[in-house]
């Protein structure tokens, strides 16, 4: 039973992995498992997994490269992004190994700054104001396939996924900007910053690999690799300054870790790490347009609980490395002028992640893995 419980928790979590926005670096709230294929292990034919994921972060620490610009906080000129993500997903077992999913994401962002509302002091007004954006983000759908037949009772398995990200979220969201114009006495209703736009305007292709290894009845290793291909170069929306169009960037994420089954029935501890970011150059298509590329590396402790067909997971990734790398335009300016250029971006210290899952369609209860790992059928309590 110990092995069954911990594997249930592990697979319910690796497939719920979210690559979450990290502030001014627009790492959107896309998922692994074919961009949202959640909780798919043992999804036999005709079964469903209903999944709700919630995430929150506050970014305020500015980095240029991997150097933190601490004076921004000291001077009170930091940009503060508060972002909330709610993903509602439904996964269906097409066969015992093939599954499909659709994810409907909803977002709310609030952005506080001085430079957008009259300028940072000493050359600006020093008047802090806020903009916000909310609503439907980019819907994702996809399919995945487990490489090893679960009926063989192997203590490891990997799934490959292919998905489609649709441009359903607004990428031209607008709000009021204060202290505009030559005399700083106008309020203008115009496009908000790229980092808080609900969508990116591109039709994307998602690729992912997820897997687990059962080391013992107490320890299970998990992994998830995700990449979003956004072939479209820009989305046609000009930035607030009008200097360029918003880019439709690629995105990547990697998560590895392990679960430890506690002596408390249903509870497991998680410890792992994750890497997530936006590259400066896309794999397919052009890379021009406005973007803030970068990445964050985090350590991630967590706690999980499951009972019968229900599971809940909570984790708090803490950033240990944050790097705002050179953008495509930074590299161009550096090559043309001979002077190194690297823009800045704000990152969060930590993220809050919660996932709630319910499995229905067949009655497995606490023995839900018996159909998929026959070698455990005679396991003693």
Dihedrals φ, ψ of 366, to 5°?
Answer: -75, -10
Identify the bridge partners of residue 18 per DSSP, sorted by sequence position: 31
Look at residue 380 in the predicted model and tell me its pLDDT: 37
Query: Which token pair is 209?
Result: 């690999």
The answer as to CATH 2.40.128.130 being correct for domain 2-376 is yes
Q: How far apart are CA 326 and CA 152, in angstroms?
A: 48
Q: Identify the pLDDT of residue 171.
A: 97
DSSP state of 28: -
Mean pLDDT, consecutive 10-residue stretches, the chain (381 aa), reads: 50 50 54 36 79 95 97 96 96 92 96 96 93 97 92 87 97 97 95 96 95 89 94 96 94 94 87 96 95 96 89 95 96 95 96 92 47 37 36
CA 326-290-224 angle, 5° bins: 65
**If you ran DSSP here, which 8-state letter would residue 290 be given?**
B
Which of 355, 314, 307 has its CA nearest to residue 1? Answer: 307
The whole-angstrom distance between residue 309's C-alpha and the CA centroid of its chain comes to: 25
Residue that is written with structure tokens 């392990």 in the block: 258
Delimit the domains of the chain by residue range. 2-376
Beta bridge partners of residue 221, listed in sequence order: 213, 258
Helix boundaries (H) for the chain: 2-14, 32-36, 71-74, 328-337
CA nearest 49: which of 13, 92, 78? 92
Query: Which DSSP string do the residues of 202-236 spell out, in sequence order?
Result: --EEEEEEEEEEE-SSSEEEEEEEEEEE----EEE
Instruction: Classify strands 204-214 and 219-229 as parallel, antiparallel or unpaired.
Output: antiparallel
Supply the pLDDT for residue 303.
94
Q: What angle do CA 91, 134, 286 make, to 5 degrees?
A: 75
Residue 362 confidence (pLDDT): 66
**Residue 304: φ, ψ to 5°:** -135, 150
Tell me whether the omega of the peptide bond preceding residue 24 falls within 30 degrees of 0, making it cis.
no
What is the C-alpha separation between 15 and 9, in angstroms, rounded?
Answer: 10
What is the reported pLDDT for 79? 97
């Amino acid at each position: 039973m110990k092995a069954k419980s911990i594997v249930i928790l592990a697979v319910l979590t690796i497939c719920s992995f979210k690559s979450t926005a990290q502030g001014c670096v627009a790492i959107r709230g896309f998922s692994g498992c074919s961009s949202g294929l959640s909780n798919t292990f043992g999804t036999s034919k005709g079964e469903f997994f209903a999944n709700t994921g919630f995430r929150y972060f506050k970014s305020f620490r500015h980095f240029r490269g991997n150097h933190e610009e601490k004076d921004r906080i000291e001077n009170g000129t930091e940009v503060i992004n508060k972002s909330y993500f709610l993903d509602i997903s439904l996964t269906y077992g097409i066969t015992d190994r093939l599954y499909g999913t659709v994810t409907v994401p909803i977002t709310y962002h609030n952005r506080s700054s001085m430079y957008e509302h009259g300028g940072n002091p000493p050359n600006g007004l020093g008047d802090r104001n806020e903009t916000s954006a909310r609503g439907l983000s980019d819907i994702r759908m996809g399919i995945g396939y487990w490489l090893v037949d679960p009926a063989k009772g192997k203590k490891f398995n990997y799934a490959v996924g292919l998905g489609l990200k649709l441009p359903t979220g607004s990428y031209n969201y607008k709000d009021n900007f204060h202290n505009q114009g030559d005399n700083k006495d106008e309020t203008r209703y115009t496009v908000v910053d790229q980092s808080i736009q609900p969508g990116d305007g591109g039709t994307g292709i998602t690729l992912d690999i997820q897997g687990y290894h059962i080391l013992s009845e107490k320890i299970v290793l998990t992994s998830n690799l995700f990449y979003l291909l956004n072939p479209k170069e820009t989305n046609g929306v000009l930035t607030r300054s009008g200097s360029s169009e918003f880019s439709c960037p690629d995105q990547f994420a990697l998560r590895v870790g392990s679960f430890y089954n506690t002596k408390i029935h249903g509870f497991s501890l998680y410890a792992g790490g994750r890497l997530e970011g936006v590259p400066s150059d896309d794999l397919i298509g052009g890379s021009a347009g406005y973007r803030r590329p970068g990445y964050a590396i985090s350590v991630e402790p967590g706690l999980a609980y499951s009972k019968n067909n229900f599971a809940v997971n909570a984790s708090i990734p803490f950033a240990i490395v944050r790097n705002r790398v050179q953008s495509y335009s930074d590299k161009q300016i550096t090559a043309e002028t001979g002077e190194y250029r690297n823009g800045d971006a704000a990152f969060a210290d930590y993220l809050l992640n919660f996932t709630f899952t319910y499995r229905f369609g067949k009655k497995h209860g606490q023995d839900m893995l018996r159909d998929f790992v026959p070698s455990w059928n005679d396991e003693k309590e």
